[in-house]
Chain A
Amino acid sequence: KNEVEQSPQNLTAQEGEFITINCSYSVGISALHWLQQHPGGGIVSLFMLSSGKKKHGRLIATINIQEKHSSLHITASHPRDSAVYICAVSSNTGNQFYFGTGTSLTVIP
């Protein structure tokens, strides 16, 4: 049983395309996190949100608490956006995070 499910698992896009990655979760949360992991690299936090929407440059994250669903959008995608994007939630009981298995994004020039 996975507390966090992401889709799609793999995504290939042409440069400039609008990209959406989805995340659904089944536990009560205090916050949802979107993380980015480049090949061979570490993990970087992109967003933390508990309601509504956040925007940072070409990245937009939204969350619907009632539906237990979040989306990460990338506008005008670029090859440097190629990475694995991971959705994680902070449980509102206990002291841990639950992680999705990640979405591997490849943006082709």
Chain B
Amino acid sequence: DAGITQSPRHKVTETGTPVTLRCHQTENHRYMYWYRQDPGHGLRLIHYSYGVKDTDKGEVSDGYSVSRSKTEDFLLTLESATSSQTSVYFCAISESRATEAFFGQGTRLTVV
């Protein structure tokens, strides 16, 4: 299995609080992605990174920010959590856009 770990695996938080999810990889892959998965929508890209300090927005980036200060870590921050951000969040890594992607186990976030 590819070395990719998400933390925490489950979190319940209150509306308006900041939340940070962590994705850690041991594969030295260049690309890292954050997706959210919601019923009826499939996986939707929030943000991605193509190198240290190089990030870009995906289709559902509003309300989220990311940081990548090291190759192995990609952090997703909800600055002020809202109930619409209740979802399952997946991190993925790949060597390039044309190679296989490996997924973390997911983080189930509930905003109450």
Contacts and interface: CB of A to CB of B under 8 A. Distances in A.
**Is the interface on chain B under 10, 10 to 19, 20 to 34, or 35 or more residues?**
20 to 34
A31 B97 CA distance: 9
A108 interface: no
Interface string A10-50: 00000000000000000000110101000001111100101
B102 A96 contact: no
Contacts, number: 59
B45 interface: yes
Nearest to A45: B100
B72 to A, nearest CB: 19
Contact of B98 (A31, A86, A88, A100): A31
Contacts of B33: 96-97
A99 B46 CA distance: 13
A71 B42 CA distance: 18
Contacts of A94: 97
B98 A42 contact: no
Given A35-B103, A96-B48, 14 more contacts: A30-B97, A31-B98, A31-B99, A42-B105, A43-B92, A45-B101, A48-B99, A88-B101, A90-B98, A94-B97, A95-B56, A96-B45, A96-B97, A100-B42
Interface of A: 30-31, 33, 35, 41-45, 48, 50, 86, 88, 90-92, 94-97, 99-102
Pick the 7 closest A-B CB pairs, nearest first. Answer: A30-B98, A101-B42, A43-B103, A42-B105, A99-B43, A99-B42, A48-B100
